[in-house]
Amino acid sequence: MGTRDSLIQVTDLKKHYHMGAIKALDGVTVDINRGDVMVVIGPSGSGKSTFLRSLNLLEEPTGGAIVFDGVDITKKKYKDAQGNMVKLDIDKLRQKMGMVFQHFNLFPHMTILENMALAPIKVKGMGKAEAEEKALTLLDRVGLKDRAGAYPIQLSGGQKQRVAIVRALAMEPEVMLFDEPTSALDPEMVGEVLDVMKGLAKEGMTMVVVTHEMGFAREVGNRVLFMADGMLLEQGTPDKIFGEPEHPRLKDFLAKVL
Amino acid sequence: MEQFIQLENFSKILPYAQLFKQGMLVTILLSLFTVVIGFCIALILALMRMSNVRPLRSLGLDQNGHLREGGFLAFVSKFNPLSFLATAYVEILRSTPVIVQIFIIYYGVFGLIKLPSFQMFGFIKFDRFFPGVVALGMNSGAYLCEIIRAGIQSIDGGQTEAARSLGLSQAQNLRYIILPQALKNILPAIANEFVVIIKESAITYTIGVQDIMSAVNAVKGATFVIVEPLLVATAVYFCLCFPTSKIIAYFERRMSHGDKR
- Judged by a CB distance cut-off of 8 A, whether residue A201 touches chain B is no
Percent of chain B with pLDDT over 70: 96
Q: How confident is the model at residue B237 (pLDDT cuts 50, 70, 90)?
A: very high
Residues 130-159 of B with CB under 8 A from A: 156, 158-159
Nearest to B133 by CA among B121, B115, B149: B115
Q: Regarding predicted confidence, which is higher, B151 or B8?
A: B151
Judged against a pLDDT cut of 50, whether residue A1 lies above it is answered with no
Residues 110-129 of A with CB under 8 A from B: 110, 118-119, 122-124
* Cβ–Cβ under 8 Å, residues B93 and B142: yes
Over residues B78-107, the mean pLDDT reads: 94
Q: Which residues pair with A13 in a beta bridge?
A: A28
The interface predicted TM-score of the complex, written ipTM, equals 0.90
pLDDT in tens, A30-87: 999 999 999 999 998 899 999 999 999 999 898 899 999 888 888 877 777 777 888 8
Q: Which chain B residues touch A17 with a CB distance below 8 Å?
A: 69
Cβ separation B69–A17 shorter than 8 A: yes
Measured CA distances, B109 to A21, A149, B114, B210 (Å): 53, 55, 9, 20
Percent of chain B with pLDDT over 90: 52
**Closest Cβ–Cβ partner in B67, B165, B259 for A60:** B67
What is the model's pLDDT at position B1? 53
Judged against a pLDDT cut of 80, whether residue B5 lies above it is answered with no
What is the model's pLDDT at position B258? 65
pLDDT in tens, B111-132: 898 888 888 887 888 999 999 9
The Cα–Cα gap between B16 and B185 comes to: 43
Give, as one character, the DSSP assignment of residue A12.
E
Question: What average pLDDT is seen over chain A?
Answer: 91
3-state secondary structure of B69: coil
Over residues B51-73, the mean pLDDT reads: 77
Measured CA distances, B76 to A170, B50, B68, B79, B233 (Å): 41, 17, 11, 6, 54
The Cα–Cα gap between B17 and B211 comes to: 13
Kindly tell me the sign of the dihedral angle through the C-alpha atoms of A200, A205, A211, A214: positive
**What's the whole-model pTM score?**
0.80
What is the model's pLDDT at position B8? 82
- Residues across chain B: 261
* Cβ–Cβ under 8 Å, residues A78 and A85: yes
Give, as one character, the DSSP assignment of residue B108.
I
Judged against a pLDDT cut of 70, whether residue B261 lies above it is answered with no
φ, ψ dihedrals at A236, nearest 5°: 170, -170
The Cα–Cα gap between A167 and A86 comes to: 30
The Cα–Cα gap between B206 and A187 comes to: 67
- Judged by a CB distance cut-off of 8 A, whether residue B171 touches chain A is no
* Cβ–Cβ under 8 Å, residues B143 and B37: no
Judged against a pLDDT cut of 50, whether residue A163 lies above it is answered with yes
Min Cα separation A165/chain B (Å):
11
The Cα–Cα gap between B261 and A153 comes to: 6
Dihedral (C-alpha) A53, A54, A59, A62: value to the nearest 10 degrees? 160
**Closest Cβ–Cβ partner in B169, B172, B258 for A108:** B258
Q: Closest-CA residue in chain B for A65?
A: B66
Cβ separation B167–A62 shorter than 8 A: no
Cβ separation A153–B70 shorter than 8 A: no
Over residues B58-63, the mean pLDDT reads: 76
Q: How confident is the model at residue A4 (pLDDT cuts 50, 70, 90)?
A: low
Burial state string for B29-62 with b = 16 or more CB within 10 A and e = fewer than 16: bbbebbbebbbebbeebbbbbbeeebeebebbbe
- Judged by a CB distance cut-off of 8 A, whether residue A147 touches chain B is no
Judged against a pLDDT cut of 90, whether residue A89 lies above it is answered with no
Q: Closest-CA residue in chain A for B61?
A: A62
Nearest to B212 by CA among B195, B191, B192, B235: B235
What is the model's pLDDT at position B184? 86
What is the model's pLDDT at position A203? 93
- Judged by a CB distance cut-off of 8 A, whether residue A29 touches chain B is no
Q: Regarding predicted confidence, which is higher, A50 or B57?
A: A50
- Judged by a CB distance cut-off of 8 A, whether residue A87 touches chain B is no
Q: Closest-CA residue in chain A for B180?
A: A109
**Closest Cβ–Cβ partner in A58, A77, A153 for B165:** A58
Cβ separation A122–B168 shorter than 8 A: yes
Question: What average pLDDT is seen over chain B?
Answer: 88
Min Cα separation B49/chain A (Å):
21
Judged against a pLDDT cut of 60, whether residue A182 lies above it is answered with yes
* Cβ–Cβ under 8 Å, residues B133 and B141: no
The least confident of A69-78, A164-173, B17-26 is A69-78
* Cβ–Cβ under 8 Å, residues A91 and A123: yes
What is the model's pLDDT at position A2? 40
Cβ separation A108–B162 shorter than 8 A: no
Judged against a pLDDT cut of 70, whether residue A210 lies above it is answered with yes
∠A72-A74-A77 over CA atoms, to 5°?
70
Q: Regarding predicted confidence, which is higher, A31 or A22?
A: A31
Over residues A243-257, the mean pLDDT reads: 93
**Closest Cβ–Cβ partner in B69, B71, B167 for A119:** B167
Cβ separation A105–B162 shorter than 8 A: yes
What is the model's pLDDT at position B3? 74
Judged against a pLDDT cut of 90, whether residue B164 lies above it is answered with yes
- Residues across chain A: 258
Within 10 Å of residue A186's Cβ, how many Cβ atoms? 10
Q: Which chain B residues touch A18 with a CB distance below 8 Å?
A: 69-70
Give, as one character, the DSSP assignment of residue A64.
E
* Interstrand relation of A97-100 and A85-87 (parallel, antiparallel or unpaired): unpaired
* Cβ–Cβ under 8 Å, residues A47 and A229: yes
> Which helix (H) or strand (E) is A223 found in, with range?
strand A223-228
Cβ separation A99–B257 shorter than 8 A: no
Judged against a pLDDT cut of 50, whether residue B193 lies above it is answered with yes
Q: How confident is the model at residue B260 (pLDDT cuts 50, 70, 90)?
A: low
